[in-house]
Structure 1
Amino acid sequence: MTYKIPESVLVVIHTADLEVLLIERTANPGYWQSVTGSLDAIDEPLLTTATRELFEETGIVADGERIKLRDWGMSNVYEIYPVWRHRYAPGVTQNTEHIFSVEVPRDIPILLSPREHTAHIWLPYLEAADKCFSPSNAEAILQLPRQLSR
């Protein structure tokens, strides 16, 4: 069995006026989140992971020019929910999540991966933070205005 690497990215997708895109998990209806995903290899660069996950989960291509990922240089260490621990090596209980954001036009096409997500919504950032099931995701969304002013 191949285990997930307990290191991941979180990509907060937003518009210039701080509307945030949330996507609903297929396997967990009612679980809304930003784009997330684990490294494919222990040496995979975080920007590569963020670019890949953004495309896989939404169809958005971060080309580095019009659509640029922003590395916040921040990470969270959190307890992996028990329901998902079987995906990791025995004894692994924590994950390190690195935070990115990306500003996109509000009318950008969103192409969800049906095996991962069933729906998407755009919400003002405070409402988006309230709707997230993940506390670290909600906190990142709340920090969005501060990060963008840096």
Structure 2
Amino acid sequence: MATNSSQRAHKIPQSVLVVIHTPALEVLLIERAESPGFWQSVTGSKDAVEEPFEETAMREVAEETGLDGRAPGHRLSDWCLENVYDIYPEWLYRYAPGVTRNVERVFGLCIPRAVPVTLSAREHRDQIWLPWREAADRCYSFSNAEAILLLPRFS
């Protein structure tokens, strides 16, 4: 909730992690614009508490890659896994006072083949498709790497 009209509403401490992959287990990683070398899968927070995690996942995929998770041949799957982690101290100001932890729901999005994506230049600067083990090794985030290592179980 904003305290005045010049401030944005606080972020909701519920987010998604979407591992975009092919049937051959190639994984898309995108590099954060403000943090060169920070490679990750698609992530993002809910826009509203009542927004279903699946809708958050579809929206974030579209915003960050231009991909349509509902396109023919695309299959979004809820892995029914949640990561709970402490929010980095430098980002706490984005959340309501007293909020220190985030719940991240994990999804997979299988697409028929590796394709170039349309990045949001505000958020990301580069993209790469890698075999799943290499992608896990390249991830900055431990929870993201761990999710990718689970990919063979969920594909």
| TM-score bucket of the superposed structures, by smaller chain | over 0.9
Whole-Å Cα distance in 2 between the matches of residues 64 and 113 of structure 1? 20
Whole-Å Cα distance in 2 between the matches of residues 84 and 114 of structure 1? 21
What is residue 34 of structure 1 aligned with on the other side? Answer: 41
- The structure with the largest alpha-carbon Rg is 2
Residues 112-131 of structure 1 mapped to structure 2, 5 A cutoff: 112-131=119-138
Q: Deviations over 1:9-39 (max 9, x none)?
A: 0000011111110000111111110000000
List gaps (5 residues or longer) in structure 1: none
8 A Cα contact 2:25 2:131, kept in partner: yes
Normalised by the length of structure 2, the TM-score is: 0.91
Letter in 1 for 2:137: D
Give me the CA root mean square deviation: 1.2
Percent of matched pairs sharing the same residue: 59
Normalised by the length of structure 1, the TM-score is: 0.94
Correspondence 1:9 to 2:16 = yes
| Consecutive aligned runs of 4 or more in structure 1 exceeding 3 Å deviation | none
List gaps (5 residues or longer) in structure 2: 1-6
Aligned length: 148
Whole-Å Cα distance in 2 between the matches of residues 91 and 133 of structure 1? 26
Correspondence 1:84 to 2:91 = yes
Q: Deviations over 1:69-100 (max 9, x none)?
A: 10111111011112222211122111000000
8 A Cα contact 2:31 2:37, kept in partner: yes
